[in-house]
Chains A and B, each alone.
Chain A
Amino acid sequence: MSANTFIRFTQYFLLLALLFPALSCERDEAELQPATYPTDPEVFIDGFSAGLNYAAFGGSVPTAFDVDNEVTYNNSLASMKFEVPDVNDSRGAYAGGAFFTEVGRDLSGYNVLTFWAKATQAANIDVVGFGNDLGASTYQVSITGLAVNTNWKKYYIPLPDPAKLTNERGMFYYSEGPENERGYTFWIDEVKFEKLGTVAHPQHAILFGQDVVETSFVGVSRTISGVSSSFNLPDGSNQTVGISPSYFEFTSSNPSIATVSANGLVSVVGGPGTAVITATIGGNQAAGSLTIESIGNFQRAPVPTRDPSKVISIFSDAYTNVPVNYYNGYWQPWQTTVSNDFSVQGDNVLKYEIFNFVGIEFSSPTVNATGMTHFHMNAFFPDPIAPGRELRVIIVNFGPDGAFGGGDDTRHSTTFTAPTLVSQQWLSINIPFANMPNLGSRSNLAQIILEGGDGSVLYVDNVYFYNNQ
C-alpha cells in the first residue's frame, strides 16, 4: 500500500476477481499425493469411528465405559459415558482406558483434539489425552485435572507438532478415580481432530522452563524432565498440556561433552568442558535449558578397605547395607534438598541438590553400634566452598523405645568448616563415638542428619559405622 496516496480503483477488484480463480483455485492433479494413512478426523461422534477399538486399563472397572443414547451433546444420537467407581469398589479402583486404532491415522493436517464433556457433579478428571496406543505411546499428550461440571463445555487438547503425527494409533484415553472417595458419571461427546486457526501462541518448555546448571562427570546420564506445551485457546486463556519428550528436537551445543537422544536422555561423554542442551518443537524454541559442566572423568570416592565384619553399612557399594527407610526424608516444611542420585560405572552416589539439610533414616530396625568405634562418610562438593560454609553431621539415637520422640532421643552434632571443607575432592569424614558426648548411647542409632547447606550440591558415598580395633 502506498504511503502517500491511497486510491481504491473499483476496476482493480474486477481484475483481481478475474485473476483470483486462475491463480488460486486451480490445482495440479500431480500435487495431490495419496496419504499413506487415513486422515479421518473423527474419533467418536455418534459411535465409534472406522477402525476404533477400546481397551480398559489394568485395575480399572472394565465396564466403566459405555455408549449412551440418553445423555448426549446437542441431542445427538450417542455419547460416551464413563462411570467412576466408589472407593473399594470390588470391580476396580478407577475408570480408565484407551481408544485406539489398529491402523494408524495421519493427523498431520490437524492442530487440536476437541470434545464436549459434562458430569453429574463438579470434578477434575485425573487425565485425558491422546497418543496412548497401549504400546510405545511415543507421542502422548494429556491434560491433567481437567475441570468438568454439570454443563456441557468444549475442551481442546492442542497437538504440539502435528507434523510428527503421520501414523498415530492412540486416538483418546482417560483415567479418573473417585472424587472424595465417591464415584460419579461423566460424558464425553463429539471427539474429533480439528484444524483451528483460533488455537495460537504455542510455548514449549523443558525443565519447567528453568535454565539449570549441573556439574557432572563422564558416564553420568539423566533424562530431561519437566516438559510441557502451552497454547492459547479460542477464549484467550492458556492451556498447558503434558507431552512426551519425543515431540522435542534436542540439541547439544557440544556433543563431545554431552550427547542427547531423541527422547531426551542426556549422557556425559567427555570433559572437562561445558555443553548446553536445548530443545525445539516444530522450529519453536522451548524455554529452559540444561548446562552440563563436566569435570571430566568421574572421581570415585576412595574404595573402602575395612573388614566387612567390622562395618555396619548405611550406603556403600563395598558392603551390604542394613535396611534403610530413606536417604532423603523430604522433611517439610523447611527442607529444600532434592535427591538426584546417580550411578557411574556401577558406583552409586547420593546426590543432594538445593541442599540445606537432609535426613537419612534407618529405624526399622534401629542399628546397635555398640561394637563400633567410628562413623565414616565421604563427601564431595562440586561447587566452590563459600566463606563461612559449614557441614554439620548429626548422629541420632532413638533411645530405649526405638522410636522417634518419646523423650529418650539423643544426638550429637559435629561441625566441619574450611579448610577441612574443600571443593572437587572427596573428603573422608571420620568421627569417633568417643568425640560424641551428647549422643550417650549408640545402641538404637536411627538417623544421620546433614546440615549447613547453602543451596548448592553435595555428593555423599560410603556411609557406615566401623570398628577400628
Chain B
Amino acid sequence: MNAKILFVALLITLMGCKADDFQKLEPRNWQLVWSDEFNGAAGELPDAAKWTYDLGTGQDGWGNQELQSYTNSPNNVSMDGDGNLVLTAIRSGNSFTSARIKTQGLFEQAYGRFEARLKTPYGPGLWPAFWLLGSNIDAVSWPQCGEIDVMELRGQEPNAIAGSIHGPGYSGGNAISKKYALPNNRFDTEFHVFAIEWDENKIDFFVDDFLYQRIERGDVNGEWVYDHPFFMILNVAVGGNYVGFPTALTPFPQKMTIDYVRVYQAVN
C-alpha cells in the first residue's frame, strides 16, 4: 500500500509539474488601448460605437459555402446580462441564422496584443472564430490585405483550435496554420483566453497564455502583409468548406459566449 501511495505521489509530481507548463518568454509591457467587457443588460445588442455587423449570406456563403444568414437580431447576438456577449447559431428546418460582428471602421490597429476570453459552440458543422482582417481589404482585396486567425474551431473537434495567417500565395488551404489541442478537455465547457502578440517581425499565438505557435517574417513563403492596421471579427459560421456540414446529431442552438475582447499596445 505504501509503495502504491508513493507511486501515485510520484506520478502526480511528474504530470502536474512538468517543465512545459511554464515558458520562458521575453518580458513585455502591454498597455490596454481598447476593450469591450460586454457588461450590458440581457438582450442588449453590442455597443454600436465599437461593433458593426456583416449581414446576410455574403458571396458564395462568405466565400466558403457557409450555410448561415447573419443577422443583427438579439436572438443571434446579444448580451446575456452576466457580463458576456453571446453569438447564437439557430437552426430552423434546413436554414440557419447566426451573427458576425466586427470593428471595421471603428477600431483598427497594427501590432500589439489582441485577446478574447470565450467559450466556443460545439457540434459537427459549427465554425466559430476570432480573427483579424487588414483594414485595406476594400482597396487591395483578400488575401493581399492579410488575415490573422487568432482562433477558429471545427465543431467536430471541440478539443482543438487552430491559429493561422492568410496572405498572398499562402491563403485558404495553404495558409500558415497550427493546431492546438487540449489533451483531455474541450474549449466549449469552460472559458479560455485566445491571444496573439504581433510586432514588426513576428506573430505569436497563445491559448491561456501558452505560446503554441510563432510565425516570423522569414517563415512566410510570400509577401509579409502584416505592417498595416487590422480590424477584429467574431463570428459563428455553420457549414462550409473548412468544417463540413452539420448532421442530424449536431445540437442546436449553439452559442459562442464571449467574456471580453481586449487590445493592447507594447510600451517601452
Contact = CB atoms under 8 A, between A and B. Distances in A.
A4 B263 CA distance: 10
Interface centre among A4, A5, A10, A235 (most CB of B within 10 A): A235
A237 B30 CA distance: 40
Interface in A197-212: 197-198, 200-201
B25 A237 contact: no
Contact of B185 (A5, A10, A197, A236): A197
A3 interface: yes
Contact of A25 (B13, B24, B30, B123): B13
B251 interface: yes
A387 to B, nearest CB: 34
B24 A236 contact: no
Contacts of B113: 6
A307 interface: no
Interface in A209-234: 232, 234
Contacts of A27: 5, 8-9, 12
Contacts, number: 105
A200 B155 CA distance: 13
B52 interface: no
A434 interface: no
Interface string B1-32: 10001001100110011000111111111111
Contacts of A25: 9, 12-13, 16-17
Contacts of A29: 5
A16 interface: yes
B237 to A, nearest CB: 14
Interface in B189-205: 189
B12 A234 contact: no
Contacts of A4: 32
A20 B16 CA distance: 9
Given A8-B25, A200-B158, A200-B188, A232 B251 contact: yes
Contacts of B27: 7-10
Interface in A418-458: none
Nearest to A32: B5
B249 A5 contact: no
Nearest to A195: B184
B17 A198 contact: no
A140 B89 CA distance: 35
Contact of A197 (B26, B28, B184): B184
Contacts of A197: 159, 182, 184-186, 189
Nearest to A232: B122
B221 interface: no
Contacts of B80: none
Contact of B25 (A10, A32, A238, A239): A10
Contacts of A201: 122, 188-189, 251
A333 interface: no
Label chain B's interface by main secondary structure.
loop
A236 B157 contact: yes
Interface string A97-130: 0000000000000000000000000000000000
A197 B26 CA distance: 33
Contact of A8 (B9, B28, B250): B28
A404 interface: no
B156 interface: yes
B16 A237 contact: no
A181 interface: no
Interface residues of A, number: 33
Contacts of A34: 1
A262 interface: no
Interface centre among B185, B186, B188 (most CB of A within 10 A): B186
B207 interface: no
A198 B156 contact: no
A466 to B, nearest CB: 55
Given A5-B31, A8-B27, A25-B17, A198 B12 contact: no
A9 B22 CA distance: 12
A6 B124 contact: no
Contacts of B156: 235-237
B170 interface: no
A231 to B, nearest CB: 10
B32 A232 contact: no
Nearest to B14: A25
Nearest to A239: B249
A236 B184 contact: no
Contacts of A407: none
Contact of B249 (A13, A24, A237): A237
A370 to B, nearest CB: 58
B210 to A, nearest CB: 12
A232 B250 CA distance: 9
A7 B27 CA distance: 8
Nearest to A27: B9
A232 B31 contact: no
A77 interface: no
A30 B184 CA distance: 28
A24 B28 contact: no
A312 B225 CA distance: 93
Nearest to B6: A29
B247 interface: yes
A200 B32 contact: no
Contacts of A17: 17, 22
A235 B13 contact: no
A237 B124 contact: yes
12 contacts: A3-B32, A8-B27, A13-B23, A24-B12, A26-B9, A197-B159, A197-B182, A200-B122, A232-B158, A235-B124, A236-B155, A236-B250
Given A3-B32, A5-B32, A200-B158, 16 more contacts: A10-B26, A17-B22, A20-B16, A25-B16, A27-B8, A197-B186, A198-B185, A200-B122, A200-B188, A234-B158, A235-B157, A236-B156, A236-B157, A237-B123, A237-B124, A238-B249
Interface of B: 1, 5, 8-9, 12-13, 16-17, 21-32, 35, 37, 113, 122-124, 126, 155-159, 182, 184-186, 188-189, 247, 249-251, 262, 264
Interface of A: 3-10, 13, 16-17, 20-21, 24-27, 29, 32, 34, 195-198, 200-201, 232, 234-239
